[in-house]
């Protein structure tokens, strides 16, 4: 059977675009891609990039006092949200144009339309056209969700934050994951009075307990009203804003309420099950280690599979797909020991096992230290950082590394190389410290804090 394309990619995010342009540009495949919204996907348009720009913007709020301690007389004016928002969207437009140009230069045909799967080799576009392909790659990502409670529509989700007509004076953030906690720091830094509700005992569930406790303490120190063991009982729109009654019985009116309570794969109406594929309990596309669905010609990568929902992982999955299908080198996706950063304030970098997870597997040693970094200490700021290594007692291999500090994401990238290589504690010890830096503590911790 003759097909219109060798590959049809549904979704113009980072993973789909990388797979499309490499298959076309490096392997000579005839490739098409359809995107119903903006090219660049969640990360570029509604996630990592605009969020990080907002993190940068919010970080200037404390510069006046710190600069004063270092001898500078600086007066900081008010934050101009409208001006920043215009610059931010101009940058997103620039990046989207780059994505479109990369696809065009690689010879990928693009359709600005919604695409759904009709069968193993047929794609239906919202324009009414049907296209056929030898292989179909689904990379449509996910979206933020609202909880199933009355009047949830009066609250916004993370996608809405980047288009606010004006900054609210007060904001309630519901959730305790990294998105909720990141935006709590961002909005607080931009001058918004932030309250955060989380129903659990501590934010950032699943991360190292010691690290997330320090982050929570520092968030409170910076002025965030963090209320743990608390959720929304009722909410409704009122003239003064959003009226909320908490599960603890407190009634408050906020200018805005942000739900950061989870995300869902974009599989509604996509046609995967009708074509013979399977969806999991959360709506994710079920795939094997090669990102292949139950239909041999259909693959899926990125957040729509709900494996490890990070942009660089989606890109890696896309590259593994290309190697498997177009380079005759079956390449399983490696989801082991992935470093990541949480852009809370303070920032966190992590790779490998938490202390709690490692202790359930084998006897471990924990090397940890907390201290005031030189820059903050000199300025009499209360900021504290943490460096932590989790080490196997039997093999001496570093099983996990956790950093809470300014620019922790930059540090964990390099530490992640060592941990991925299987470095031992003694390998860290043999490395000469870079002084004076925060990161030197990673190679100068000689005595275990505890053994379990």
pLDDT digits (tens, 9 = 90+) for 152-166: 999 999 999 999 999
DSSP 3-state of 436: coil
pLDDT higher than 80, residue 257: yes
Determine the pLDDT at residue 199: 97
Over the chain, what is the mean pLDDT?
A: 97
Q: How far apart are CA 135 and CA 117, in angstroms?
A: 12
Where does the chain hold its CATH 3.30.390.30 domain(s)? Answer: 340-451
Where does the chain hold its CATH 3.50.50.60 domain(s)? Answer: 5-143+264-326, 152-261
Least Cα distance to 38 among 152, 141, 165 occurs for: 141
pLDDT in tens, 242-254: 999 999 999 999 9
pLDDT in tens, 2-61: 999 999 999 999 999 999 999 999 999 999 999 999 999 999 999 999 999 999 999 999
Q: Which CATH superfamily is domain 340-451 in?
A: FAD/NAD-linked reductase, C-terminal dimerisation domain (3.30.390.30)
Q: How far apart are CA 394 and CA 157, in angstroms?
A: 46
CATH code that applies to domain 152-261 = 3.50.50.60
Determine the pLDDT at residue 69: 95
Q: Are strands 109-111 and 115-119 parallel, antiparallel or unpaired?
A: unpaired
Quickly list DSSP for 391-415: EETTT-BEEEEEEESTTHHHHHHHH
Determine the pLDDT at residue 400: 98
Determine the pLDDT at residue 113: 98
Residue 255 CA, distance from chain mean position: 26
Token pair recorded at residue 124: 């239906």
Cβ-count burial 310-344 (b if 16+ within 10 Å, e if not): bbebbbbbbbbbbbbbbeeeebebeeebbbbbbbb
Determine the pLDDT at residue 1: 77
Q: Are strands 364-371 and 385-392 parallel, antiparallel or unpaired?
A: antiparallel
pLDDT higher than 90, residue 93: yes
Determine the pLDDT at residue 371: 96
Determine the pLDDT at residue 239: 86
Tell me which of 3.40.50.300, 3.40.190.10, 3.50.50.60, 3.40.50.150 is the CATH number of domain 5-143+264-326: 3.50.50.60
Q: How far apart are CA 286 and CA 300, in angstroms?
A: 8
Residues known to be catalytic = 435
Burial class (CB in 10 A: 0-12, 13-18, 19+), 359: middle
pLDDT in tens, 326-379: 999 999 999 999 999 999 999 999 999 999 999 999 999 999 999 999 999 999
Token pair recorded at residue 137: 């790659």
């Amino acid at each position: 059977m003759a097909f219109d394309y060798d590959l049809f990619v549904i979704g113009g995010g980072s993973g789909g675009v990388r797979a499309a342009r490499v298959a076309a540009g490096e392997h000579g495949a005839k490739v098409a891609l359809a995107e119903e919204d903006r090219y660049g996907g969640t990360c570029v348009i509604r996630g990592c990039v605009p969020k990080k720009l907002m993190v940068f913007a919010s970080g200037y709020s404390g510069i006046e006092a710190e600069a004063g301690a270092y001898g500078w007389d600086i007066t900081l004016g008010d934050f101009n949200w409208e001006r920043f928002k215009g610059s931010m969207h101009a940058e997103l437009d620039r990046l989207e144009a780059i994505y479109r140009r990369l696809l065009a230069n690689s010879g990928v045909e693009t359709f600005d339309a919604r695409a759904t799967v009709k069968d193993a080799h047929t794609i239906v576009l919202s324009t009414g056209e049907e296209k056929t392909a030898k292989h179909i790659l689904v990379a449509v990502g996910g979206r933020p969700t609202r909880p199933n409670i009355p009047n949830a529509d009066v609250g916004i989700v993370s996608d809405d934050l980047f288009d606010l007509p004006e900054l609210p004076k007060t904001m309630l953030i519901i959730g305790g994951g990294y998105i909720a906690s990141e935006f709590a720091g961002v909005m607080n830094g931009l001058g918004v009075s932030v309250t955060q509700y989380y129903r659990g005992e501590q934010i950032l569930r699943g991360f190292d307990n010691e690290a997330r406790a320090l982050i929570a303490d520092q968030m409170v120190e910076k002025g965030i009203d963090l209320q743990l063991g608390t959720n929304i009982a009722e909410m409704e729109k009122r003239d003064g804003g959003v009226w909320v009654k908490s599960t603890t019985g407190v009634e408050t009116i906020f200018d805005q309420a942000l739900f950061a309570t989870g995300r869902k794969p974009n599989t509604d109406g996509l046609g995967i099950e009708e074509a013979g594929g399977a969806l999991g309990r959360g709506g994710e596309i079920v795939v094997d280690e090669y990102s292949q669905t139950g239909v041999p010609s259909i693959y899926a990568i990125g957040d729509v599979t709900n494996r490890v929902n990070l942009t660089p992982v989606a890109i890696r999955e896309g590259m593994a797909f290309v190697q498997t299908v177009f380079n005759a080198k079956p390449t399983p996706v490696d989801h082991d020991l992935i470093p990541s950063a949480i852009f809370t304030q303070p920032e966190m970098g992590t790779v490998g096992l938490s202390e709690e997870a490692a202790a359930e597997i084998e006897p471990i040693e924990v090397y940890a230290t907390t201290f005031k970094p030189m820059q903050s200490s000199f300025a009499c700021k209360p900021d504290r950082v943490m460096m932590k290594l989790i080490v196997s007692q039997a093999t001496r291999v570093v099983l996990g590394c956790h950093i809470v500090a300014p620019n922790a994401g930059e540090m964990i990238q390099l530490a992640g190389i060592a941990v991925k290589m299987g470095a031992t504690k003694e390998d860290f010890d043999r490395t000469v410290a870079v002084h004076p830096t925060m990161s030197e503590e990673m190679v100068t911790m000689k005595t275990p804090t505890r053994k379990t």
